[in-house]
Structure 1
Amino acid sequence: MEKKGTSVFSNSLIWFGAGVSIAEILTGTYFAPLGFGKAMAAILLGHLIGGLMMFAAGMIGGREKKSAMETVKMSFGSKGSLLFAALNVLQLVGWTAIMIYDGALAANGILKTGAWVWAVVIGVLIIAWILIGLTNLGKVNTVAMLALFVLTLVLFKVIFFGANGAEALVSGDLSFGAAVELAVAMPLSWLPLISDYTREAEKPFAATLSSVIVYSIVSVFMYMIGMGAAIYTGETDIAQIMVKAGFGIVGLLIIVFSTVTTTFLDAYSAGVSAVSISKKIPEKWAAVVVTIIGTIAAIVYPMDNITDFLYLIGSVFAPMIAVQIADYFILKKADAAKISFQVRNLIVWLIGFILYRALMHVDTPVGNTLPDMVITIIICLIVEKAAQAMEENNSKVNIRKLTVAALFAAVAVVGSLFSFPVFGAKCTPVQHLVNILCAVLVGPWWGLAAAFIASLIRNLLGIGTLLAFPGSMCGALLSGLLYRYLKKLPFAYVGEVFGTGIIGGMLSYPIAALLMNSDTAALFTYVVPFLISTCGGTIIAIIVTLPLKKSGLLDKMKQQLNA
């Protein structure tokens, strides 16, 4: 007997439950410094941007009858998608813990029995929701949603019509662009989940559209309650507003059931994503385990400010869906599910991730997500068209070397955060280790490209200066050239030390004086600190490469990359 799909109404009801959330109300309180008019404009614009992305993600899953993480395989490959599946499980565990924490804290504000008690109660109810099952919720979910809707209307009346109507002075510094991004953040956090529900819909288009519209309306309403509470009552603790309004048990029901119906979606989708990592993992029981872990985390760890968590989600999943949109709707390809890695799309995603983190330092009227997605889509289209042109011209780029160079650039960026003192100077050896590894494995030009990309990313992220360019690129190029033509490891080491320490150190002087307005810079100012860092990295490289050379592994790795 064929399994019956979920109805448009059932999908709408699920996403109504997703929108009724304490976390969304609390996020709404952050908008108060803008005042009611600007805050509402930011909330509406953010939900429009986020809603369009949700619709695109939901339609891919609905059309293909695949879960969110299964659709990711279509653009990133069967193994490439595991990165996003693992990150999605982690963010869902995080969300589960955050939602239980917020719900328990608010419930305890009304009926003081201990926040940990309420965390356990909410966790047990979520597990019950999971065991009932998505298609069997039926009347239970309907009754819960109708009750929550009525109770949130009462809360709305208390906030907007029970106050004196005057705006309270709310301290804080929030730009309009940052507010838009906070409004985008919630629908964006649902991106990796919506296909888990639209895949089972009888009418994918109608179910996706209604899900997004219902969620957006309810989410805007929740944001407005939080924002209104902060502006008109001066109170950001929703539980205290309920106590003052005399809600008592009614307020408690709002908190507990809104937390359960929303967090159920997080835990359920964590189970679905876990299955995409391994078919041996039982979906429902994985969701139960996630709920138990989230409950324990909610009891043990404080989770009062989630803005950094929201931005991290955005930086991972905004470029991911941008690549999927370009791949599925524009290029009409999305045919990578049968290969292990779609390297081009993974590199484009990495660029989009870095761009998002860089845009966090730039205030735009539309936030970070929209410009990041537009640029990522354009890059994806350009890369694909360039790849097609190269194939038509029978040209070949060594994809393996490209991938290794990109990975080394990422290692250099992360490694730039690691340093230790040497003779009063700071030694940051990882970039110089990477330079030598690139020289030996991929050659001077790929090494130069990796050093440039790493320096650019560090500057965009605010963890490096313009001196990163001469401090990495000179050593990478000279090390690679000497190794290419002289074929001996010691020449790679010498090239790195001389290129970075002497040439790079001296070239840093005009950059510091002319572009960084340094009054203290001189020709040899940077030579000593650069030499200390490059010597540290070269010593590590010697320790790594000499055993590989003696064992023959180094030559085998080079053969594989050149194959």
Structure 2
Amino acid sequence: MSTSDTATTSAPSADAPLTLTAPPPATLGLRDSLGLWGNLGVSLLLPVAAVFVVLPGRSLAATLGAIVVGAVIGAVLLGLGAAAGARERVPGMVLLRGLLGRRTSYLPTALNLVQCVGWATFEIVIIAEAASRVLDAPRWPFVLAAGVLATAMALRPLGVVRLLARYAVWAALLAIGYLYVQVLAEPLPPLEGGGATSFWTAADIVIALPVSWFPLVADYTRHVRSGRAAFVGASVGYGLATVAMFTLGVLALAAYGSTGLDVIDALLLVPLGAVAVLVLVSVELDEAFANVYSTAVSAQNVVARLDRRVLAVVVGVLATGLALSFDIAAYEPFLFLIGAVFVPLIGVFVVAYWSTPRGGWDTSDTAPARLLFLLPWAAGFLAYQLTLPTFFAGPGAGWTAWWGARQADLGIDPGNGWSASLVSLGVAAVLTVPLVLPALVRRRRAVRP
């Protein structure tokens, strides 16, 4: 059973509980879920990262195919986590109690806290950088404004979700549609440059985006009325937005021959492009808000009675301060490393949770430790790094070099072209099956006449 009772009916104005001990209202429907995850998928990081999914020397259709395949795989995984959150009515890190036990779940919680603060900081920097370039103004006022707004949004999260679903999503669609019309009006020559070495390395970049939200998804879908609405809202909303934003970036690269952050400059060149980009910058606030709020909710897995509003303010101040003073670009590889840690955990969770009968997932304060499930998680992480070591430059280069040496020891080609995410997920999932099989066999025998 969960740590809080399921709330099946609640006033539409009800917001998220202040502590983990209070029951979460289930006030969000399919439209709210679609709007939230569609908005979260609309991020300027995606068109900027599009250069890494381009397959150089191959047709545009091949690159677009990798985007669609990666988005479908990542979105389905995200949807499975979303549905679990709606069924159990608990946040993401509390949901992991059923897999690892209460105290053992503190390990992924600690990693998620670092990840969420880092991504909140990164999002504030992206918002401020884009706004300062559009308006040709200093960056720091936009850092402060973004930090304050994201923190304020985290104080009333469900009200923000409903606003996003009803209004922000339409503004984002109009801006994206306008940019598509302008970009498609340009000639689209073949793409000669790009960062993808194979179809699956391109798909891997796309998979990483929806998968990165998996540890956070239940923080929101615990308030969705049904598992089906949560699954459809998260998978369809985020999946379609991912395809749209990556494709926009690829088309801009083809139309304007831009690379990296220059994609933003290219979009500013189109008529009224500055207005459209400013709309997307405003929509980007929801990513910062989500990371601030989820940091607070994740911390409640350890301190259940602490007011999430206090935690959100602390996190917002911290992320804003880091955005003002810290070179977050240097921290980015570490964030991807933490992301690689969560990829195999998803494989373990999906197999374990969806093979457990309804009502049998223990997320209570007394959930016992299940240390054996750490083994497939660790094996999946090893598989990820052996497939594609997380790249560090400078002081962290030793990490990349060490894993490169292990690839050489095992005869693994560094340019193997495999999807590290799928290899990691597959290894973790397969090794989890023997751990859940005895329970499945006992359950099958119990239901026989």
Provide closer, same or farther for how the CA distance between residues 373 and 243 of structure 1 changes in structure 2, counting only shifts above 3 A. Answer: closer
Higher helix share: 1
Report the residue type matching 1:369 in the other structure.
S
Cα distance in 2 for partners of 1:94, 1:5 equals 30
Q: Which residue in 1 is equivalent to 2:21?
A: none
1:357 aligns with 2:385: yes
Question: Which aligned pairs between 1:77-116 and structure 2 lie closer than 5 A?
Answer: 77-116=101-140
Residue number in structure 1 paired with 2:198? 175
**Deviation of the 1:144 alpha carbon:** 2.1
Amino acid corresponding to residue 371 of structure 2 in structure 1: V
**Distance in 2 between the 1:48 and 1:282 partners?**
37
* CA contact 1:331–1:381 (8 Å) conserved in 2: no
The secondary structure found in structure 1 opposite 2:214 is coil
Which residues in structure 2 correspond to 1:9-88 (within 5 Å)?
A: 9-34=31-56, 35=58, 36-88=60-112
Aligned 8 A contact 1:323 1:377 in 2: yes
Between structure 1 and structure 2, the one with the greater Rg is 1
- Report how far residue 5 of structure 1 moved: 1.8
1:304–1:231 distance in 2 versus 1, CA, 3 Å: farther
Mapped to 1, the partners of 2:439 and 2:86 lie a distance apart of 29
Going from structure 1 to structure 2, the CA distance change for 1:176 and 1:149 (only over 3 Å counts) comes to: same
Given the superposition, is the C-alpha separation of residues 169 and 355 from structure 1 closer, same or farther in structure 2, using an over 3 Å criterion?
closer
- Residues in 1 aligned to 2:198 and 2:26: alpha-carbon distance in whole angstroms: 48
C-alpha contact (below 8 Å) 2:348/2:377 kept by paired residues: yes
Distance 1:140 1:347 in 2: 40
1:473 counterpart residue number: none
SS at match of 2:110: helix
Q: Equivalent residue of 1:193, what SS?
A: helix
Question: Structure 1 CA distance, aligned partners of 2:355 and 2:418?
Answer: 23
Question: Secondary structure of 2:304's partner?
Answer: coil
Letter in 2 for 1:93: V
Q: CA deviation at 1:116?
A: 1.6
Asked if 1 retains the 8 angstrom alpha-carbon contact of 2:71 and 2:207, the reply is: yes
What is the deviation of 1:329? 1.3
Sort the Cα spacing of 1:52 and 1:140 in 2 relative to 1 into closer, same or farther, 3 A.
closer
C-alpha separation in 2, matches of 1:381 and 1:248: 51
Matched position secondary structure for 2:266:
helix
Partner of 2:407 in structure 1? none
Q: Which runs of structure 2 are paired with 1:456-467 in the superposition (5 Å)?
A: none
Deviation at 1:385, TM superposition (A): 4.7
Contact residue 353 and residue 361 of structure 2 kept, 8 A: yes
Shift of 1:376: 1.3
What's the RMSD between the two structures over aligned residues? 2.6
Letter aligned with residue 324 of structure 2 = I
Q: Kindly indicate whether residue 346 of structure 2 is the aligned counterpart of residue 324 of structure 1.
A: no
Structure 2 residue corresponding to 1:379, chosen from 417, 431, 437: 431
**Equivalent position to 2:211, from 188, 199, 204:** 188
Query: Taking CA–CA contacts closer than 8 Å with sequence separation of 6 or more, which of the two structures ends up with the larger relative contact order?
Result: 2
Cα distance in structure 2, aligned partners of 1:336 and 1:140: 30
Q: Is the 8 A contact 2:150 2:288 kept in 1?
A: yes
Segments of 5+ residues of structure 1 without an aligned counterpart are 390-563
- Length-normalised TM-score, structure 2: 0.79
Confirm whether residue 148 of structure 1 aligns to residue 172 of structure 2.
yes
Cα drift, residue 310 of structure 1 = 5.8
What letter corresponds to residue 290 of structure 1 in structure 2?
Answer: V
Aligned-residue identity in percent: 25
Structure 2 residue runs of 5 or longer lacking an equivalent are 1-8, 11-24, 390-413, 442-449
Cα deviation for residue 309 of structure 1 reads: 4.5
Structure 1 residues 345-372: Cα deviation after superposition (integer angstroms, max 9, x where no partner): 1222122222221121555665112222
Deviations 1:379-434 (A, max 9, x none): 12224558999xxxxxxxxxxxxxxxxxxxxxxxxxxxxxxxxxxxxxxxxxxxxx
Structure 2 distance, partners of 1:202, 1:218, is: 23
- Partner residue, 1:367: 419
Cα distance, 1:334 vs structure 2: 4.1
The TM-score with structure 1 as length reference comes to: 0.64
Shift of 1:249: 5.2
Number of aligned residues: 388
Alignment of 1:386-465 (within 5 A): none
